[in-house]
Amino acid sequence: MDTVSPILGWQPGESFDALLERMAGLPAWQPFDARAVAFVERFSQRLLTARAVRQHPELAALGHWFRGASLRRMAGDALPRADSMQLGRGLAFHIAPSNVDSVFLYSCLISLLAGNPNIVRLSQKSNAALSLVTEVLGAVLEEDVGRAVVGRIALLTYGHDQAVTQAISGRCMLRVVWGGDATVAAVRAVPLRPTAVELCFPNRFSAAALEADAVLRATAAQLEQLARHFADDAFWFAQQACSSPRWLAWVGAPADVERAQALFWPALQRVLQQREPDNTEAMSMDRLTAVFEYAAGAHARPTGSGARIAFPQRLTTEHGLDGALRDRHCGNGLFLEHQATTLAGLADQFVDRDQTLAVYGFDRAQVEAFVLALGARAIDRIVPVGQALSFSSLWDGQDLFTSFTRRIQIVLPA
């Protein structure tokens, strides 16, 4: 199809139809096939040693996640079973988001390790991080280690052409959709083969919870570390990542919360002054607009000196989380603050749209009490502050290695 633009992994002169026919006919491998492991480990090495990776900490995290030691640990966890054999599902079709460039590689490389050939539809928006990872990926595919898998990864891009999505969806055995709710709804309208499976990762909302007493007990070094970790969670992607905290709950007595806030926010401000994250005029106007919208709907009020352009921008929620509060949040350095006396007392604030809760200062008993008080499907991840953006093969409640593979039952006479 003329609307499809090849990026990587196509054979010379190969048409879209020929690519699709070829890749749909490739056999599935067993998980952690030596050829796939060698390729992914080499990709990790080349990415981590690329000079430009220093400007993209999220890509350094990607390379670290796929390093050899990590792959061996994951392979060791995938123990064979006597009653079945595990294989990839077949051709996997990944639709990548436009706001978090590294996600498509986590998805694609995990799928490759699971045994699948992979077609990835990338956004038509280009940037330095995306150019770097595709350059490194292409370089490894040209090495000896890449020859065994060169036909099992293809990157392409196209506009909102449902005919292309339909063509790939009609041949794939696994469809993985990363994107906003509208993207997920549009793709879900395109049918799959009856034997295919689909995983969707739509819009999610995430939060953080800090225990005021723990912040007050922190040494100067610990407070600085907390601020740096929180900045990692919130500012790598300008809060556009689904796991970045947008709502900040303070747990403790009101007087303790006020004192803890007076320590935390100046510490975060010092970190931001050192790092100078993006804060464009458009981002500033988005925050200011949100201030007025929240105030008009009586959802939140400005913290401190009123409605003005601030970075970060703090608002205090009047009634906790609700749908309108989530929908109007623009990211870009905007934080909604809430107060509660216990962590478990926050549980009724969360719904199935909420993904990650980054926590500081709570013990396991407090966290487990919170989990047991949650409503159905609310919150999929609870991690320490600083690890909200850390990827895991367990994502949005889905074990990706399990979902990307199938088991063939084998029952033979004794």
Is 199 a domain residue? yes
Same domain, 337 and 197: no
Chain centroid, CA 249 distance in Å: 22
Q: Within a domain: residue 63?
A: yes
262 or 309: which carries more pLDDT confidence?
262
pLDDT tens digits along 21-40:
999 999 999 999 999 999 99
* Residue predicted with more confidence, 238 or 101: 238
Same-domain check for residues 193 and 218: no
Mean pLDDT over residues 303-317, rounded?
A: 75
Do the domain assignments include residue 403?
Answer: yes
Within this chain, do residues 173 and 194 fall inside the same structural domain, yes or no?
Answer: yes
Task: Give the domain CATH number at 91.
Answer: 3.40.605.10
**Residues 235, 237, 242, 244: what is their CA dihedral angle, to the nearest 10 degrees?**
-10
Residues 186, 182: Cα–Cα separation, whole Å:
6
Q: At what angle do helices 34-49 and 57-65 cross, to 10 degrees?
A: 150
* Of the candidate ranges 292-301, 310-319, 360-369, the one whose mean pLDDT is the lowest: 292-301
The verdict on pTM exceeding 0.85 is yes
26 & 58 share domain = yes
Residue 381 forms part of a structural domain: yes
Residue 414 lies in a domain: no
Does some domain include residue 79? yes
According to the model, what pLDDT value does residue 304 have? 61
Q: What amino acid is encoded at 256 in this protein? A: D
Q: Domain for residue 183, yes or no? A: yes
- CA–CA dist 370, 343 (Å, integer): 6
Question: Is 219 part of any domain?
Answer: yes
| Residue 2 pLDDT | 67
CB 155 within 8 Å of CB 19: no
User: Model confidence over 252-288: pLDDT tens digits?
Assistant: 999 999 999 999 999 999 999 999 998 999 999 999 8
Burial class (CB in 10 A: 0-12, 13-18, 19+), 97: buried
- Dihedral in degrees, nearest 10, Cα atoms 127, 241, 178, 73: 100
Residue 304: name the closest of 314, 293, 317 by CA: 314
**Residues 359, 338: contact at Cβ < 8 Å?**
no
Specify whether 226 is located in the same domain as 129: no
Burial letters for 233-270: b for 16+ Cβ neighbours within 10 Å, e otherwise? bbbbbbbebbbbbbbbbbbbeeebbebbbebbbebbee
Q: Does 220 lie in the same domain as 185?
A: no
For residues 175 and 220, membership in a common domain is answered with: no
Pair 361, 239 in one domain: yes
The answer on 105 and 126 residing in a single domain is yes
Structure tokens at 128: 């330095």
Instruction: Provide the 3-class DSSP secondary structure of residue 359.
Output: strand
264 & 123 share domain: no
Token pair, residue 206, equals: 């995430």
Is 256 found in the same domain as 171? no
- Count up the domains in the chain and report the number: 2
Q: Given this model, what pLDDT does residue 296 score?
A: 82
Q: How confident is the model over 180-189, as pLDDT tens digits?
A: 889 999 999 9
Distance CA 380, CA 394 (A): 9
Query: To the nearest whole number, what is the mean pLDDT of the chain?
Result: 92
Would you call the peptide bond into 312 cis, given omega within 30 degrees of 0 as the criterion? yes
Structural domain containing residue 335: 205-393
User: Does 177 lie in the same domain as 326?
Assistant: no
CATH of the domain at 225: 3.40.309.10
